[in-house]
Amino acid sequence: MVYPDTFEGFAVQSAETWTQPKRTEYTPRPFEDTDIDIKVIACGVCGSDVHTVTGGWGACPYPLVVGHEIVGHVVRVGSKATTGLKVGDRVGVGAQAFACLQCQQCKNDNEIYCKHQLDTYGATFPGGFVSQGGYASHVRVHEYFVFPIPDALDTKLVAPMLCAGATAFSPLYRNGAAPGKKVGIVGIGGIGHFGILFGKALGAEVWAISRSNAKKEDALNLGADGYIATQEKDWAAPHAMTFDLIVNCANSSKNFNLDDYLSLLDVNGKFINVGLPEGDGFQIHPFKMMGNAAVFGFSHIASRKEILYMLKLAAEKGIKPWIETVPVGEEGCGTALKRCHDNDVKYRFTLVDYEKAFN
């Protein structure tokens, strides 16, 4: 055990070797009096982990330990921490690890859009320390970004809620998913399957929208009220101007005819993107969008306030994501990254067995 001087994790070494993370010891940034140290017990594997370590989103500061769906126990609390966490508490950390907490955005529960926001991994903190994620023995995070987890939620199930779940939840919650509203979820993968679960938990009518019928049974089993396959000819016409909100969770914008999707929206209906596909993005056609006064927008993870509410709702409604567990380690992390890259998972990996890897 190397804590508290150093942490250990499974770090990707280069873009060429991203499927072969290596056990690595590193020095975390100095402990501050508003920090929480967490001994990790589980971590989800996010599509962002893959986009980052492959270099798909641009330069990556190798070696890098990824993982931002972290669950663990508090082992140290800073002397000026005010959120009430105690040593031993079970907590979660998502994709964000810092914001200024002073600016207009931060003061309005929009710290996810703070100009000073820093990511849980791969971000350079003062002093030049690069943040490292949860494929690791420990993480050190500002208390504002550490969330107490309700007892009713299982560790391996709650881990993927901290990024994928939150990413689906925020745009649904902010844009009025509720009883009487019709919501579409595009892309039934890690984030999209949470879109179905949380859309239903918020009381909306939820339709899954996918390319083929391959995920129809899963979507209906997850609770979707309806299913649309966009490979079918003239698929959009029968549903024109019937949706209040569509959340696009698709991981690719290839062959994506945005006009068809926007035509599904009722007047002032919103099409909100949460994915960040690699490549050129979307083609916007003003004449088409004018036809129903469609709103096109984006959403980035979820605020502390939203995550706390999401966890409460998940506990109350007994929300259970579909996950596969993998033992954390060089092999497990490599396999999970590779299979996540290949979309070979229903619908999320959670790395487990941390006590065996780091005892």
Which alpha helices (H) appear in 162-226, and where do they start and end? 164-174, 190-201, 216-222
What one-letter code names the amino acid at 119? D
Give yes or no for residue 161 binding Zn ion (CB under 5 A).
Answer: no
Give yes or no for residue 93 binding Zn ion (CB under 5 A).
Answer: no
Among 50, 66, 85, 163, binds Zn ion (CB under 5 A): 163
Q: DSSP character for 263?
A: T
Among 103, 220, 229, 295, binds Zn ion (CB under 5 A): 103
Nearer to Zn ion, 132 or 292 (CB): 132
Q: CA 289 to CA 295: how far, in whole Å?
A: 8
Q: What distance lies between CA 47 and its chain's CA centroid? A: 8
Q: CA 88 to CA 96: how far, in whole Å?
A: 22
Nearer to Zn ion, 95 or 185 (CB): 95
Max Cα separation, the chain?
62
Stretch that binds Zn ion, among 101-109, 210-218, 220-228, 333-341 (CB under 5 A): 101-109
Coil/strand/helix, residue 73:
strand
Among 106, 161, 204, 326, binds Zn ion (CB under 5 A): 106
Nearer to Zn ion, 28 or 189 (CB): 189
Give yes or no for residue 162 binding Zn ion (CB under 5 A).
Answer: no
Give yes or no for residue 186 binding Zn ion (CB under 5 A).
Answer: no
Q: CA 123 to CA 276: how far, in whole Å?
A: 18
Q: CA 353 to CA 206: how far, in whole Å?
A: 35
* Residue list 27-56, contact with Zn ion (CB under 5 A): 46, 48
Least gap, CB of 25 to Zn ion (angstroms): 25
Give yes or no for residue 114 binding Zn ion (CB under 5 A).
Answer: yes
| Interaction site with Zn ion (CB under 5 A) | 46, 48, 95, 99-100, 103, 106, 114, 163
